[in-house]
A and B are shown apart, each in its own frame.
Chain A
Amino acid sequence: MEFIAANDLDEALAAKAQHADAQLLAGGTDLMVEINLAHHRPTRVISLRRVEDLKDLSPGRIGAGVTWARLERNGHQGLAQAARTVGSPQIRAAGTIGGNVGMASPAGDGLPWIAAAEASIEVRSMERGARTIPWNEFFIGVKRTSLETDEIITAVVVPEDVPTAQEFAKVGARNAMVISTVSCIVMQGDDGVRVALGSVATTPMRATRAEEMINAESTISDSVLSEFARIVSREVRPITDHRSTEAYRRHASGVLARRLVERSLR
């Protein structure tokens, strides 16, 4: 295995341009599990740990190398809540949002927030420079993204008008060290309620029909919330796997979405 420790973004981009097959290494919390347990043997690894350009954090731009530990303390409310549910303190000290985006697991804890915020993914290549891809064009399937082989994820770009009322929750077998069974975020802004969910489709998804329904109502009564939850449950597209069943995920999606709307109204 060839190991390339990039000292800055230019070095990383040059290495990626030269070696399309090179595996990018950020916090290592996913890649090392594949190496340790699945005996994955990459031929080349480019480490981004030393690339300071990726570590900037501001409300409008979250560098790909920003760790969960930093987001937990300094992020937008809903993203901080999501960051707090990632793994354990040890995992959050290492794992990055860029890694979460690049892995594009349906269970990625940061991804529903990105969908609700209508954030974009900024990527860069040596040859073509930077491009910014809307989240729903970036995530295209289970662990599949529209990132080209010579590109590196550089940041999550957050629109200025992202609602400040944000509530995140996830369901799992226990509190710490858990991969989500269903995750959900609700945002409330001038344009109404936004709902995004994780672990219930091949990619993070917005519950757009449920959003339309609730945003057409002038008062949020109990019956409106029940109908809203029912639409969320119908709208998600979960599967049955080793972590849960389709039926439970549908049920939990509606319950979580309703609860978070209630919480964000308080």
Chain B
Amino acid sequence: MNVTITINGEERAFSVEGHESLLSALRTELGLAGTKDACEQGECGSCTVIFDGESVCSCLVMAADADGSTVTTVEGLAPDGVLHRVQEAMLAEGAVQCGFCTPGFVVAGSHLLETNPHPTEPEIREALSGNICRCTGYGAILRAFEIVTREGS
């Protein structure tokens, strides 16, 4: 079936399979491979996107149901190659090991800063609690968010 979705500010019309997730559509139909595919059950957060203003797991959104919606992926946070301040902070802190979970943390974290520009440390931990880093690099990730939060204040 055909859907039209505004992705990273651009209206895209394309065809999806009935059972396909938004995650799969982004990666295979549109070639937006920044959104990572890992658990496919909403446990790991590596497929996090902003869907109609909410931070959600794109593996749990039926692509057909996303018709008419607005989606921001990690690619949309760094248009023209200019990194988002969350990405800059993660680079500065060495908060990337294998990198697989990184886009999910960046999207979930950028959404936190959109909705709560000055989060406390517990609020940062809470906002990132749906994202798993298998390298267990949480210390550096949290430090990166502390930097961003301080900059924002």
Contact = CB atoms under 8 A, between A and B. Distances in A.
Interface of A: 1-3, 5, 25, 27-29, 31-33, 35-37, 41-42, 45, 47, 49, 69, 87-91, 93-94, 175-177
Interface in B41-72: 41-43, 45, 48, 54-57, 59-62, 64-65, 67
Given A3-B18, A88-B129, A176-B130, A36 B59 contact: yes
Contacts of B65: 3, 5, 25, 28, 45, 47, 49
Contacts of B67: 5
B54 to A, nearest CB: 4
B19 A94 contact: no
Interface of B: 1, 18-19, 21, 40-43, 45, 48, 54-57, 59-62, 64-65, 67, 108, 126-127, 129-132
User: Which of A25, A28, A42 has the largest count of B CB atoms less than 10 A from its CB?
Assistant: A28
A123 B84 CA distance: 46
Contacts of B61: 28, 32, 94
B64 A3 contact: yes
Contacts of B40: 33, 36-37
A3 B1 contact: yes
Contact of A32 (B18, B45, B62, B132): B62
A94 B60 CA distance: 9
Contact of B21 (A3, A36, A175): A36
B60 A29 contact: yes
Nearest to A48: B65
Contacts of B127: 89
Contacts of B19: 1, 35, 41-42
A94 B129 contact: no
B123 to A, nearest CB: 10
B108 A32 contact: no
Contacts of B54: 69, 93-94
B18 A1 contact: yes
Nearest to A84: B126
